[in-house]
Copies of this chain bind each other. A is one copy, B any other.
Amino acid sequence: MLQTTMTRSLLLADDHQLFLDGMRLLIDRIEGWEVVGEAHNGYEVLAFLQNNRVECVLMDIEMPELNGIETTRRLKKTSPVVKVLAVSMMGDYSTIRKMLQAGADGYLIKNTGIAELRHALEMVSRGEIYISAELAPVLLEGVAGRKASANPLMEPLTQREREIVAMIAEGMTNEQIAARLYLSPLTVNTHRKNILGKLGCKNTAALIRYVLKNKLLDQ
């Protein structure tokens, strides 16, 4: 468990080479850290960790093949000691929550500077959780249970309801969904109405727009 305090190794994971290149140069400016590898998708991350030990993975969430969330989940199963610092463009509650549930140790929004990056790296390597300050309000919105303003939104959807939302988004009618799920069309209709109520949408168009914008669907 002895760890030299001199240099801590870092794996960069992002599908954009330009971002990797820039980040590598940035990390060079941060004392005590060294980039030891690059990955362009989740599978490359997992493969790298099978042959190498790193202190931390700086992980982009939006990656092809295997995204950052699923990668983190698998990584934490096999190598729980490796820290994961998520970096993303997305600052919505749903994404943050999923990433933290997957086991991430920190969440940085890309819209931050090198100072914050340095700070975040220090914190997660000490075993603490780091979340970009500007995401605090977003977190409060969902975590505390109650909310901030009077918006009726934010995922109170059940599993079944999510399934059905996905099918609605595919353009299926209640009838077709019922057939697929071996349910009565009336049941599907009930779900549909409950969904609209929960999310505060008044018709299908608004519903689809809402779920796509808030990434409630994995598609």
A53 at the interface (CB under 8 A from B): no
Of B18, B117, B209, B213, the residue contacting A171 (CB under 8 A) is B209
A198 at the interface (CB under 8 A from B): no
Q: Which residue of B lies closest to A171 (CB)?
A: B206
Give A209 to B202 CA distance when docked, in angstroms.
Answer: 17
Question: Does the CB pair A111–B15 fall under 8 Å?
Answer: yes
Question: Does the CB pair A205–B22 fall under 8 Å?
Answer: no
Per the CB 8 Å criterion, the residue count for chain A at the interface is 37
**A193-208 near B? 1/0 per residue, CB < 8 Å:** 0000000011111111
CB of A176, distance to nearest CB on chain B (Å): 11
A170 at the interface (CB under 8 A from B): yes
Question: Does the CB pair B110–A18 fall under 8 Å?
Answer: yes
Give A17 to B89 CA distance when docked, in angstroms.
Answer: 11
Give A22 to B171 CA distance when docked, in angstroms.
Answer: 42
**A6-28 near B? 1/0 per residue, CB < 8 Å:** 00000000011111011101100
User: Which of A155-181 touch B at CB < 8 Å?
Assistant: 168-173
A96 at the interface (CB under 8 A from B): no
Q: Which residues on B sit within 8 Å (CB–CB) of A99?
A: none
CB of A167, distance to nearest CB on chain B (Å): 9
Asked whether A112 and B17 contact (CB < 8 A) given A22-B23, A25-B25, A201-B171, the answer is yes
CB of A133, distance to nearest CB on chain B (Å): 13
Give A207 to B110 CA distance when docked, in angstroms.
Answer: 32
Asked whether A205 and B206 contact (CB < 8 A) given A22-B26, A25-B26, the answer is no
Q: Can you report 11 residue pairs joining A to B where beta carbons are below 8 Å apart?
A: A17-B112, A17-B113, A18-B111, A168-B205, A170-B205, A171-B203, A171-B205, A203-B204, A205-B205, A205-B208, A212-B212
5 closest A-B pairs by beta carbon, nearest first, are A22-B22, A171-B206, A25-B25, A16-B110, A208-B208
